[in-house]
Structure 1
């Protein structure tokens, strides 16, 4: 008889309101045998819920140094940070970096890694946490499905326990696959040596995982609050996985497998516009499942940029999680310190006077993706973009999610603080002639507190009645920011990408005949108040894919999708995505000069996948290292 130690405590924190104690009527750190764990629904659910804590919160999983955006979208100025190391191509040492959510987060002041720690930054990282999660899921499946335990539970209770286990087994495989690539589908509870060959293709891995999602969809409820077993925690079930979440992640798994990097399987001659259309069709059908639930009222796109505030931060603490009507799935909560540091990550400490370091949006990312008020990219010949006035006539989302030089931050600031905080003052020409919130030093404590690029990111940063949260007002005590693993906007964008790659911009699928890829993208144009995609772009297959990707970059900006996206599209090694720029300008905005901050080291296919730790590939034959390592 196997024993399982279940540690119960206050680990779900600010943004996750149920705990295992709602189910397991046992003392903390109890040791139960498998028949006790799986004797009742309450006990089994208590065991399942530890899997939720193993979902890594990217934005809070690396201590207070909120460096979690590893693409071309941001620049970090401190050389010990993971973002800097990744820019240098040093992927082979990532396991030794403390401030990286992919591995165990051994922060300098952290105790031993504990899955139930109130700090998200002190729980396991993606690699370790996912392996633990896969094992826990297999324990559930083995005991409930294979050994037939939970005889005292109803069929619906058995189904939801298994549904969660199948979802998490698939999800945790995907978490590893996003960063390390091909990984075997582990379906047994191993007690000794493991010798599963590494599959030859990513597609093979994804199809195996797809079977788990299919089972999860069959077994999970649409809404826990509507089920008898959900009545025990009525109103506090928001973060538990559902049928909609399983549809969404099923589609994402298939779209990633269909994407150019995976489709070409690391071989030369990669074409960024070529997808696996069979997998794209399967992804579209999966996304159609959750879009139908949205049509029935289970989910809803935010209809205005103002309503999106409820998705990102506008939700009272400590009992309500942001996400609004778009919420599908998120990591569990954390201590206030972690959450506050994330909320403030784009804004200098001199404004808010709280524990945080600044990671700045790059000029290249903003210039290449945030277009003009007329809906065209800055590079389109008819866009009207003026490089001598780069802040003028831009897409409304440019202004909504960034703080621009000269913008009033805190009108209520008074006395000696008024000049410092009345305007953003990001400008500088030289170190002796700089704004209050900017400097050009690298790798110093001071350099982490001020802006480097000329842009501040404020997507998750509260602004109340025209006042950005600061040391003079209290929105930070009222609202909290949150980064979601999945929200409805992402579903529509992935649906559009998969559908266009397979059938083009103007064809609708049989599984969801009411929406084309063009129609899906224009939903976001309508929400932002910019014109629809031009017919000349829609009619050009590659141009529309470029526009679709640009729309994805804007809508999901700073939400930790970018590094995965530019790799799966097979473009990360191109100069457009390798060279990080800042923007220099004098106080009077009389000139603007892009300056190179960092040229990333990125070779195809070497830097497209994180290498496995050497010990992992030396355990047995049949598990080769990623290419180039």
Structure 2
């Protein structure tokens, strides 16, 4: 009973009679459970043909005999998909249908060639392996095929009047190369002459309106939504096997469309989002990898990257390259908001394994300590890259970059120090930026009453590094000419970084030693990033901070405030919510703070077309002296004098740096392969 799910994705009525018996089917992931009970005074015999069981398919039957003694057997559906079951009085049965990992399914879509433009001949209809199958995506009366059922893959594969497709011989050759126990299935949804836009599930209805009558006639075979038909058939196929790949043959109708590759990528990720499970650990097909599926692509990852693709396509940089406008593309922004909204709706109602961690555990999103090198992330990290010997990489690489003299274990020093102008993005606990007249920031007490993330991420002058008795300098000196301001071995900027460090990571406490197995792991994508990208997309799609997706109850403003509230920062001030430009200034600042030093900033500035602006190109240090009584227990309250910033580096970026150069050898392949502007 432990293996029986407690939550269900689908429930269907199969058969029954009031007061006598009932048969229902329930699905969890790709697994079906068909249950029958008999409350009548006599046995009931049924010849069922449930839609989820294919002709000839084998399933497991748990049944009672006349003495109500249970047994387990494997039964096979007949050629019409029927299974015969007898329920004794007071007894019942359970049919369990689980997907077969050795049945490999491929989705096929596109236009004329994939549809079957070529006429098939007699030789194409013989010698087909019984291990190669096709699922009919439409009824084919002339071929005796019903939609949603599997058949031997004899052409035609798309519709009754179509021809030979690339999928025909793809499948035939594939089964030859696979072990005998492996079978192959294809599902073909294709429309000759169609553009890629026909497979846009949201906008296909509007697209179809402008198409010729012959194409409209073909599309009616798929209820005017070929994409949805493909997904419906694919979901049905997941109950039988595993989807292994997607075959696309389309493009001639989009000749000259510079955005075609982006559209194909978005279509691919939309398919993944619609077909992948939320949590692989809750599927029967991943029993062997249960508990080790964190990097396995799932529905949440697919939705996140689908939204990110759309948001980048909507960005000023991409829109300028496509249309000459430096504004956001609202259509793509709306698509991004809808993808992110779908994801966040699942998260907000507790339907996923992901949630924002409480801020007292935020360090464990980036590192683990005393946990045998466990990869960090908790419930917030969605996607991260592979790691090889992460403790070694942390101990002898990542961690040492952040530790200045005299706390460095090898007598060296850090080479990564936050620039003062970047640290300025960390505003006040009242939610205002430090340059706002009402923020109450005071340059004589520059560390006081700051955003709590400032104290979590940044080492500033006077911070306690360690109270180990061996340490002659427990409080760091980051004032001008202080012990940790050496340009070669310590901080060049007046700050150091601790966001990714456990407090014991210094030469005296040896927090990176063998015993604690301190391990840093910075993810590619975490949930906080999704909330902020949703806020950006929803605001730009609607032109307002109150904008939202129909898929999610959160507004753009709500999404930002959710991240701030988690950290203990006041909400976005009303002075920034009156128009989109003011709101975007706070959103950009929020991304700078929440996602600081996680590898997003360079690309953010590029897509916003800001990287060549002086306020982003100039890097500064903070210079000051300590003044008054020094409080080692509360360094945030200490006073300074002569506080000012000095430019230490100016990046010489221009508009050509919005794009990176392409390899010359690639550009020389064809005259159409142009080098990026400026290179």
TM bin (shorter chain): 0.5 to 0.7
> In 2, are the aligned partners of 1:438 and 1:451 still within 8 Å (CA)?
yes
> In 1, are the aligned partners of 2:369 and 2:502 still within 8 Å (CA)?
no
Q: What displacement does 1:462 show?
A: 0.8
Equivalent of 1:611, from 653, 656, 661?
Answer: 661
1:337 maps to 392
What does residue range 312-351 of structure 1 map to in structure 2 within 5 Å? Answer: 312-314=366-368, 316-318=370-372, 320-335=374-389, 336-340=391-395, 341-348=397-404, 350-351=406-407
Q: What is the alpha-carbon distance in structure 1 between the residues aligned to residue 493 and residue 555 of structure 2?
A: 38
Q: What is the alpha-carbon distance in structure 1 between the residues aligned to residue 339 and residue 291 of structure 2?
A: 27
Q: Secondary structure at the match of 2:674?
A: coil
Equivalent of 1:423, from 460, 464, 475?
Answer: 475
Equivalent of 1:472, from 509, 531, 542?
Answer: 509
Q: What displacement does 1:199 show?
A: 7.5
Structure 1 residues without counterparts, runs of 5 or longer: 1-39, 45-141, 167-185, 189-196, 429-433, 441-446
Q: What displacement does 1:300 show?
A: 4.0
Q: Deviations over 1:123-147 (max 9, x none)?
A: xxxxxxxxxxxxxxxxxxx978994
Q: Deviations over 1:58-100 (max 9, x none)?
A: xxxxxxxxxxxxxxxxxxxxxxxxxxxxxxxxxxxxxxxxxxx
Q: What is the alpha-carbon distance in structure 2 between the residues aligned to residue 454 and residue 232 of structure 1?
A: 51
2:155 maps to none
Q: Deviations over 1:326-357 (max 9, x none)?
A: 12110011223323322343222642415985
What does residue range 357-372 of structure 1 map to in structure 2 within 5 Å? Answer: 357-367=414-424, 369-372=425-428
Q: What is the alpha-carbon distance in structure 1 between the residues aligned to residue 520 and residue 256 of structure 2?
A: 39
2:126 maps to none
Equivalent of 2:483, from 414, 436, 440?
Answer: 436
Q: Secondary structure at the match of 2:265?
A: helix
> In 1, are the aligned partners of 2:103 and 2:182 still within 8 Å (CA)?
no
Distance 1:551 1:570, change over 3 A: same
Q: What is the alpha-carbon distance in structure 2 between the residues aligned to residue 625 and residue 325 of structure 1?
A: 42
> In 2, are the aligned partners of 1:301 and 1:489 still within 8 Å (CA)?
no
More helix by share: 1
Structure 2 residues without counterparts, runs of 5 or longer: 1-99, 105-168, 185-236, 628-639
Work out the number of aligned pairs and report it: 440
CA RMSD of aligned residues (A): 3.1
More strand by share: 2
Q: What is the alpha-carbon distance in structure 1 between the residues aligned to residue 461 and residue 658 of structure 2?
A: 35
Distance 1:236 1:603, change over 3 A: same
> What TM-score, normalized by structure 1, do the two folds share?
0.65
2:202 maps to none
Q: What displacement does 1:532 show?
A: 1.1
Q: What is the alpha-carbon distance in structure 1 between the residues aligned to residue 494 and residue 171 of structure 2?
A: 56
1:287 and 2:326 aligned: no
> In 2, are the aligned partners of 1:405 and 1:455 still within 8 Å (CA)?
yes
Equivalent of 1:460, from 500, 508, 531?
Answer: 500
Equivalent of 1:546, from 585, 591, 607?
Answer: 585
Distance 1:159 1:493, change over 3 A: farther
Q: Deviations over 1:560-598 (max 9, x none)?
A: 000000000011111110101011223443222211111
> In 1, are the aligned partners of 2:466 and 2:508 still within 8 Å (CA)?
no
Distance 1:366 1:452, change over 3 A: same
1:246 maps to 302
Structure with the larger RCO, 1 or 2 (CA within 8 Å, 6+ apart):
1
Distance 1:143 1:563, change over 3 A: farther
> In 2, are the aligned partners of 1:160 and 1:219 still within 8 Å (CA)?
no
